[in-house]
Structure 1
Amino acid sequence: MTLSQRDLADVGVLIACALRPKMRPGADSDYRRLLVRYRADVEFRNAVDSVLDGLDMRVLSDSDLGLVLGVRRESVFAYRLSDLPNVTGVTERLLVGLVSVAITAYAFPTPADFDDDRIRWVSVEDIERFIREACERFKRTPTEDDALDEAWRSYDRLSPGYKADRGKGRPRRSAASSPYWVANVLTWMTDQGLARLTPARGPEAYQLLERFRIQAGELAGNATYEELAAIRRGEVTS
């Protein structure tokens, strides 16, 4: 059967739904209908996958939470670190990258963890403490990764406290403090449908969502992830 214009339009609708990180099939009848069709109709599925391939993307999961997409670095839909507040230079991008991988290694310290769908929580304090521990480890045992070396040294130079912005009113963390960068990344992850703020578990606590687990699995084998995951597991890094 050849797909009609209506079918091709549905391909676009399904992809558009998948690109909205907070949209869920349970709350949208069109998304739910098209997800069912993606699973059952091979021709429709192949059409969706082909269009995604042309956009440098692929489906990582088609669970009841919707399509979770993986994006190649060259895709126009790839996450840009520059989209985060105050990320304007190389140092800022290194800090955001380090925090992002640290969150992954903290929550998923072994490759098998990426296949375990139990709920995981993190907090700004958890990740700040973990990265500080990693910095101390790297001081004793230097890494052979120049980018990681520059990233952890940049993080280590930041103030671990609030280091409030100048001005009147309630003190706010500034970009000169390391907790600022951890909170910045977790807030961005919440906006992307990768995490959810959970105040009941403590100040600045977050639940990591399935979308994050699936996408974070792409980091397995990444050198920085391997270094940080080894620290999280209590192993001595080389």
Structure 2
Amino acid sequence: MTLGQQDLSDVGVLIGCALRPKQRPGADSDYRTLLGRYREDAEFHNAVTSVLDGLDLQVLAAGELGLVLGARRESVFAYRLTDLPNVSTVAHRLLVGLISAAIAAYVFPVPADFDDDRVRWVSVDEIERFVRDACDRLKRAPEPQMLEDVSFEEAWRTYDRLSPGYKADRGKGQGRRSAASSTYWVANVLNWMVDQGLARLAPNRGPETFQLLERFRIQVGELAGNATYELLAARRRGDHTPVVGT
């Protein structure tokens, strides 16, 4: 059977649903129906895959979460660090990249953890202490860490220069974080993850605590093999052997 105009329109509707990270098939009957068709109708499945391929997107999972997509680096739909609020300089982008890798390494220190669907929580303070400890260890290392990503050293040294606590912007009162505070950047990344449907606030677990969602586990599974992730994951495991890039 050849797909007709309505079928192709349905392909677009399904992809549109998948591109809305907080939309779920359980709450949207049209999304649920089209997802079922994607899973059961080979011709419709192939049409969706072909369109996604043209957009430099790929399906990472298709289940209760809906159609979870991953973007190739060149895709217009790829996450850009500049998409985060208040990220305007190279130093800011380095900080966000480091913190994003640190969150993944903190909760998934072993690649096999990416296949474990148990619920995980993190807090701003936990991630800040984890990155801070990694910076301290790197400063004390007898030899510098050699990684393929030469920006890693600049990233951790930039983080290390930040104040770990609250540092108020001039004239804005006490207790307000500024970009000179490392906790500001950790909170910035985690709150952005909430907006992307990767995490949700979990105030019953403690102040500034977040539950990491299944979509995060699926998407960051691609980080396995990333040099920064590997070094931070080794720190999380307690393995302090230097990581040397090829």
Length-normalised TM-score, structure 2: 0.95
The separation in 2 between residues aligned to 1:237 and 1:172, in whole angstroms, is 38
Look up the match of 1:176: 180
Look up the match of 2:226: 222
**Unmatched runs of 5 consecutive residues or more in structure 2:** none
Task: Output the amino acid matched with 2:121.
Answer: W
Look up the match of 2:101: 101
Structure 1 contact 165–171 (Cα < 8 Å) conserved: no
Look up the match of 2:163: 159
Look up the match of 1:117: 117
The separation in 1 between residues aligned to 2:195 and 2:176, in whole angstroms, is 20
Task: Output the amino acid matched with 1:162.
Answer: Y
The answer to whether the aligner puts 1:131 opposite 2:131 as a matched pair is yes
The percent identity for this pair of structures is 75
The separation in 1 between residues aligned to 2:12 and 2:140, in whole angstroms, is 52
Picking from 143, 146, 166, the partner of 1:144 is: 146
Look up the match of 2:33: 33
Matched residue count: 238
| TM-superposed deviation, 1:63 | 1.5
Q: Secondary structure at the match of 1:185?
A: helix
The separation in 2 between residues aligned to 1:160 and 1:171, in whole angstroms, is 13
The separation in 1 between residues aligned to 2:46 and 2:18, in whole angstroms, is 16
Task: Output the amino acid matched with 1:167.
Answer: G
Look up the match of 1:194: 198
Task: Output the amino acid matched with 1:161.
Answer: G
Length-normalised TM-score, structure 1: 0.98
Look up the match of 1:59: 59
Structure 1 segment 61-76 matched on structure 2, within 5 A: 61-76=61-76
The separation in 1 between residues aligned to 2:187 and 2:105, in whole angstroms, is 17
**Unmatched runs of 5 consecutive residues or more in structure 1:** none
Moved over 4 A (4+): none
CA offsets, 1:116-169, max 9 Å, x none? 000000000000000011101111232113211110000000001100112245
